[in-house]
Amino acid sequence: MRQRPAWIAMALSGLIMVMAGAFGAHGLEGRVSASLLEAFETGVRYQAWHTLAILGVLIWHQQMPLKGQPLVLWLWGAGIVLFSGSLYLLALTGIRGIGMVTPLGGVLLMVGWLALAVAAWRARP
């Protein structure tokens, strides 16, 4: 796995997460309904946790490269884009149809965790 692009993507995800969090707290309050603001905050929260998890896998990969780690990063990256991104768009546009993408992103995040468990299981002690 080429580390540099993964580190850059993780750092940019962190940047976007902080910017989205600040925008949600200061730019959306009073402009969108409470339920849409809550959806936006859920997107930020999931992006934050998965960006931190990506950091952990990148560090783990440097110490013990395993076959499944790049797959985990791709699944989580796509999951962040689809899950958090759809919630951001839903809150910003109010278009409910965008919410149909959110579960797919959630599935990718969950499959990423399963792939992480499989990679750890297959690791030789």
Domain locations along the chain = 3-122
At 101 the pLDDT is: 96
Position 58 scores a pLDDT of 96
pLDDT tens profile 83-119: 999 999 999 999 999 999 999 999 999 999 999 999 9
118, two tokens: 């499989």
pLDDT at 111: 98
Residue 47: exposed, middle, or buried by beta-carbon count in 10 A (0-12, 13-18, 19+)? buried
Q: Among the residues of 1-125, which ranges form H helices?
A: 3-23, 34-63, 69-79, 85-93, 102-122
Query: What is the pLDDT, as a whole number, of residue 44?
Result: 98
Q: What is the pLDDT of residue 124?
A: 74
Residues in the chain, pLDDT under 50: none
